[in-house]
Amino acid sequence: MSFILEAVGHIIRRNMEDPKEREDYWNAHIDNVDMKRKKVKDAINQPVKPFGFWNSAPANAKYNTNLDPGINTLPGRAKTVDD
């Protein structure tokens, strides 16, 4: 009976995970996720549009067109909130 218990105990110990190996894998995973997080955070902090983009003529063309009363009151144009 003792032999069977020893054999079963050996099989169980052989099939168990090594805690050091599991800890090393987890630490590598955490380091990888942290590196990706830093890269994404740096990318998010970069400006999408260059300085002065919204003051350029193409960016303001629709705004300036809507200010013109001759164009703004044409048939088919949506009424503004102020009217």
Report residue 50's pLDDT band, with 50, 70 and 90 as the boundaries.
Answer: confident
Does residue 80 sit within a domain? no
Does residue 77 sit within a domain? no
Residue 9: exposed, middle, or buried by beta-carbon count in 10 A (0-12, 13-18, 19+)? Answer: exposed
- What residue numbers bound the domain in which 26 lies? 2-72
The total number of structural domains in the chain stands at 1
Burial 18-57 (b: 16+ CB within 10 A, else e): eeeeeeeeeeeeeeeeeeeeeeeeeeeeeeeeeeeeeeee
Does residue 81 sit within a domain? no
Report residue 59's pLDDT band, with 50, 70 and 90 as the boundaries.
Answer: confident
State residue 36's pLDDT score.
97
Collapse the DSSP code of 28 into the 3-class scheme (helix H, G, I; strand E, B; otherwise coil) and give the result. helix
Does residue 83 sit within a domain? no
State residue 79's pLDDT score.
67
